[in-house]
Structure 1
Amino acid sequence: MTATGTLAERAWQALSSVRDPELDQPITDLGFVLAATVRDGGVSVRLRLPTYFCAPNFAYLMVADAYDALIALPEFEWAEVRLTDHFAAEEINAGVAAREGFAGTFAGESLGELDDLRRTFRRKAHLACLERACRTLLDSGWQIDALAGTTLGDLPESAERDSLVRRRAELGLSTTPDSPLFVDDDGTPVSEEKLAARLRFAKTVRVSIDGNAGWCRGLLRTRYGEDVDAEPDVRVPRSRTQEEAS
């Protein structure tokens, strides 16, 4: 693998860590990354969304998170992330580039930063991951009332377990193997008598997230057609020296 190829892969891996705040899926999997180009010691990225009027707070979070993920890589001296085909793209692109925050980007229009919104969606993501993890246990024969005494260590190694642990860490909840599995948003264990109702609510949240993700994929495909299914343009342009050598 060439050094330039490695840089492109590192940029893509960083972008893969960025998630749509509402759908809790990587922007790379959702088709939101239109192009990523490594050049001149940095990386330039273009993002797109399912509709022209996607909520600006959601859009801002994804652009800002993508920038933060890329600029944190020591391989890059600079990063540029630009949103395209969106009614607030100009404001969002300029605000993220200037590191003004959401309140500074939409001065006079916002009520502040988006920390509370981000935490709300992280709590929903945690519930959805918890339901998926519990479903693996129930499908293998566990009874619902037994989940009250279950710990993280009782979960078998799986993608569902990894996702749940990651969401708990984001919320500041314990991730040790002896930690209770079924906890509320504050980390308090859910009692046996309340567990079934909480699990039903968690399933509702998970179904809603999955449904919204499918809806957004459909909107993106309707908007951009076959281009959505094509491989995104992720590359490192050849230098003049490389072109002359070939």
Structure 2
Amino acid sequence: MTAPTTALAEAVWAALGTVHDPELDQPITELEFVASCTVSDDGVASVRLRLPTFFCAPNFAWLMVADAHDAVGAVPGVTRADIVLDDHFAAATINEGVAARAGFVAAFPGEAQSELDELRMVFLRKAALAGQDRIARPLVDAGAAPEDLAGTRLGDLPSSADLDRLRRRRAAVGLPHGPDAPLLLHPDGAPVAADQVPLHLRRARLTRVGIEANTHTCRDLLAARYPEEVVSS
């Protein structure tokens, strides 16, 4: 993917960076799911997306295409967002449905049972749980006891990209994310008690490892599918 060369193209690229694979919780730009991104002189942004396999789940694909359409279309100076998914078994249906703003159920009549809001929330909750492990693991390695972790508030922690990410995920699912919010929270927002910390962190660790393992698999599949275009990381 060639780097953008104009201010508007850079803004479009930045907007694409806010679009995440819902399952992997990574920006589509970092995952190299953006095959091309150009902006014409009259402000038409043309983006082509690709995925690791021909049979990637259509619901995840829909979310990424729809989110990219919304993000790019909201960039000041963009007059039209043309977002196209390539090399996917449902590409035509997804591209047409997103462009028409039809909704997932209308685009897949007789197959889709509901829109994808709840699916999005499921993966955001997983990301919020995995984020607790990212923050807590170094504290555990440094000798923090369960009592210490149960009493840790977000405001006690040094600023970091992982902390910002955790706060954003919590905000998205309606969980406390201010400086007084506990680091460790149950899915319903209740604080994790000291005697619950070991089991809670095991669950958070498993969730994080699962997400990261899927991410590595998708990167490898994408590199194998597009060997001359993808830089594996």
Equivalent of residue 194 in structure 2, options 192, 200, 210: 192
Out of 145, 148, 151, the position equivalent to 2:147 is 145
**What is the deviation of 1:94?**
0.2
Question: Which amino acid in 1 is paired with 2:213?
Answer: G
CA RMSD of aligned residues (A): 1.5
Structure 1: which 5+ runs fail to align? 231-246
Could you tell me how far apart the structure 1 residues matched to 2:174 and 2:44 are? 33
State the structure with bigger RCO (CA 8 A, min sep 6), 1 or 2: 1
Q: Name the counterpart of 1:242.
A: none
Kindly indicate whether the alpha-carbon contact (under 8 Å) linking 1:150 and 1:180 is maintained by their aligned counterparts in 2: yes
Q: TM-score, normalised by structure 1?
A: 0.89
The answer to whether the 8 Å contact 2:146/2:195 transfers is no
Q: Give the letter for the 2:60 counterpart.
A: F
Q: Which runs of 5+ in 2 are unaligned?
A: none
Q: Which residue of 2 aligns with 1:241?
A: none
Secondary structure of the corresponding residue to residue 157 of structure 1: coil
1:115 CA drift (Å): 1.1
Does the residue aligned with 1:212 lie in a helix, a strand or coil?
helix
Q: Deviations over 1:12-66 (max 9, x none)?
A: 1000111100000111111100001101222010000000000000100000011
TM-score, length basis structure 2 = 0.94
After TM superposition, list the pairs within 5 Å mapping 1:153-172 onto structure 2.
153-172=155-174
Tell me which protein shows more helix as a share of its residues: 1
Q: Secondary structure of 1:43's match?
A: strand
Structure 1 residue 74: Cα displacement: 2.0
Does the CA-based 8 Å contact 1:137-1:155 persist in structure 2? Answer: no
For the 8 Å contact 1:57–1:114, the answer to whether it is kept is yes
Question: Which residue is equivalent to 2:218?
Answer: 216
Confirm or deny: 8 A CA contact 1:7 1:38 kept in the other structure.
Answer: yes
Amino-acid identity (%): 56
- The whole-number CA distance in structure 1 between the counterparts of 2:196 and 2:208 is 18
Which amino acid in structure 2 is aligned with residue 197 of structure 1? L
What is aligned with 1:12?
Answer: 13
Amino acid at match of 1:201: R
Choose from 39, 53, 56 the match for 1:54.
Answer: 56
Question: In structure 2, how many angstroms separate the alpha carbons of the residues matched to 1:33 and 1:93?
Answer: 15
Matched letter for residue 154 of structure 2: L
Number of the residue aligned with 2:27: 26
Match of residue 206 from structure 1: 208
Tell me the residue number matched to 1:89.
Answer: 91
Q: Please say which structure displays the higher CA radius of gyration.
A: 1
